Amino acid sequence: MSDAYDFDDDFDPGAAFELPEGLQSNVSDDPEAPPVEYQAPPTMTTDELPAFGYAEDLAEAPMVLDDLALSIPSGGVDQPIPRISIRAFCERPDTVSLIENAAQDRRLARAHVQTSLGGLPDAIEFYNHENTPNLILIESGMRGETLFAQLEELANVCDAGTKVVIIGAANDIGLYRELLRRGISDYLVPPLTSLHLIRSVTDLFVNPDQPFAGKVTAFIGAKGGVGASTLAHNVAWQISEVCETDATIMDLDLSFGTAGLDFNQDGNSNIGDALAEPDRVDDVLLERLLTKCTERLSLFTAPATLDREWELDPDAYETVIAQVRSTVPHVILDLPHIWSSWMKSTLFAADEIVIVASPDLACLRNAKNLYDLLKSMRGNDAPPKIVVNQVGVPKRPEIPIKDFADALGAEPVLVLPFEPQIFGEAANNGQMIQELKAESKAGEGLAHLAALLTGQGTTRRRKGLFSKILGRG
């Protein structure tokens, strides 16, 4: 590799876009000025740009720049991007579609994103008369002197604090490093997915002093009484005590929540205190409000009182959940069976969603509505997981599991048989199923679900148990 790309290791790609001192002279109108050091092939036209790859799996679409591999880790948990403004200037309609798809992602829900065709020249012209946003995305097939000259023009019209990301065509480590030297925050090349773009923006704007974010899993019942809360509590216990990973349950059924009862806990403080004043919530207050169930499991109980009507701003839920997830690897949300603006935004923002249903017509209808809506809203996430609970209630007509799955358009990840004695005894004793009877079908099924949510594999008996319930052998 040529020494022309030698760069300062102290350079911060996240800094505002401006040409470093001493590099402006590389591009000059003076015909006697020395030539630029970077030598590159001629400018590519828009028609010559390679097609974008829309990979289903991030592992299928790594960005590789010669000896520098830039890829998105699979299975990671991203923090939401703050309220920033992003403007994209694209050379192709495909790129506009890619960015607009990324803008619909839950991680960018708070960002304001605008797109237009035109590329780098249009960006320069536009910002001659307008203030620049927090981030400018530029698609350009140019390389070499022409690109650097236009970037210098853009730098001259950028406000302090603006960052620039280039979406290019050349898979060239030298060009990548030279662009970083010149103040560009990142350089992306095809094959490119929405999540590549989101991760790039996250790296630039998420607070590096608070990089940790636990996984948020939301449990919601397709209708009341299907056991969503019971499963949420048991899975959280399984994650903490068997998978040995710290977890916190947030009981968001403020008026009728049962998490305190299920764990035989009666704390004086509850999640209502945090939601009432979300801006006061910090690590110290959380330590006081949370109820410690075990060494690894904490509980945010619901007020479970009718003395107050809980009509809160959706931002209050977002703020408290964000604070909790910054302290623990797994957060389990026990959601009530209601529909409101805060419920919709909370589900949209969760890392994983579990819909619990029983095999009847009302549950099938509601589960399908939820599944289809959430799948369409969260195009860059895995679809919600379906759990069919309370299968085999005596004398109750039920929809066969195969027909239920076909109508829903998704196969359940777990089918649990109706075992009222085990669940009833556990509830009355303030115990979890694994504590009472770990070898029961319910115990094995809950262990399987916890393993799926933590990525720790599946239980050995999964095949025999589920194939029997599903009628497969």
Residue 245 — very low, low, confident or very high, per pLDDT cuts 50/70/90?
Answer: confident
Q: What is the pLDDT of residue 160?
A: 77
Asked if 325 contacts 216 with a C-beta cutoff of 8 angstroms, the reply is: yes
Q: Sign of the CA dihedral 18, 21, 27, 31?
A: positive
CA distance 202 to 63: 17
Q: Tokens 């945090």, residue?
A: 274
> Mean pLDDT over all residues of the chain?
81
Q: What is the pLDDT of residue 362?
A: 96
Q: What is the pLDDT of residue 186?
A: 93
CA distances, 261 to each of 258, 295, 430, 435 (Å): 5, 19, 6, 16
Closest CA to 76 of 352, 279, 377, 429: 352
Structure tokens at 427: 């509830």
Q: What is the mean pLDDT of residues 180-190?
A: 90
Extended strands (E) in 348-392: 352-357, 385-391
CA distance 232 to 236: 6
Terminal alpha carbon distance of the chain: 59
Closest CA to 329 of 80, 82, 77, 107: 77
Return the DSSP state at 35. Answer: P
pLDDT 10s digits, 370-410: 999 999 999 889 999 999 999 999 999 999 999 999 999 99
Residue 72 makes CB contacts below 8 A (sequence gap 6+) with: 58, 62, 193, 195, 196, 199
Asked if 406 contacts 445 with a C-beta cutoff of 8 angstroms, the reply is: no
Asked if 419 contacts 442 with a C-beta cutoff of 8 angstroms, the reply is: yes
Q: What is the pLDDT of residue 311?
A: 84
- For residues 199 and 468, which has the higher predicted lDDT (pLDDT)? 199
Q: What is the pLDDT of residue 331?
A: 96
Residue 399 makes CB contacts below 8 A (sequence gap 6+) with: 359, 360, 361, 364, 407
pLDDT 10s digits, 75-112: 445 677 887 889 999 999 999 999 999 999 988 888 88
pLDDT 10s digits, 115-137: 999 999 999 999 998 888 889 99
Q: What is the mean pLDDT of residues 428-445?
A: 91
Bond prior to 41 in cis (omega within 30° of 0): no
3-state secondary structure of 403: helix
Q: What are the structural domains, with CATH classification, of the chain?
A: 3-205 (3.40.50.2300), 215-470 (3.40.50.300)
3-state secondary structure of 415: strand
Does residue 443 register a pLDDT over 60?
A: yes
Closest CA to 251 of 184, 331, 135: 331
Q: What is the pLDDT of residue 251?
A: 96
CB atoms closer than 10 angstroms to residue 410: 19
Does residue 243 register a pLDDT over 80?
A: yes
3-state secondary structure of 188: strand
246: left (phi over 0), alpha (psi -120 to 50) or beta: beta
In percent, the amount of the chain with pLDDT more than 70 equals: 79
CB atoms closer than 10 angstroms to residue 359: 23
Return the DSSP state at 108. Answer: G
Q: What is the mean pLDDT of residues 220-231?
A: 96
Does residue 141 register a pLDDT over 90?
A: no
CA distances, 453 to each of 313, 351, 432 (Å): 29, 10, 18
Structure tokens at 301: 């109980």
Q: Tokens 């020395």, residue?
A: 34
Q: Using N-to-C axis directions, what is the helix angle for 441-454 and 462-470, rounded to 10°? A: 110
Asked if 229 contacts 334 with a C-beta cutoff of 8 angstroms, the reply is: yes
pLDDT 10s digits, 27-59: 444 545 554 444 444 444 434 433 333 333 333
Closest CA to 170 of 39, 73, 27: 39
Which amino acid is residue 401, in one-letter code? I
Task: Report the DSSP beta bridge partners of residue 187.
Answer: 166
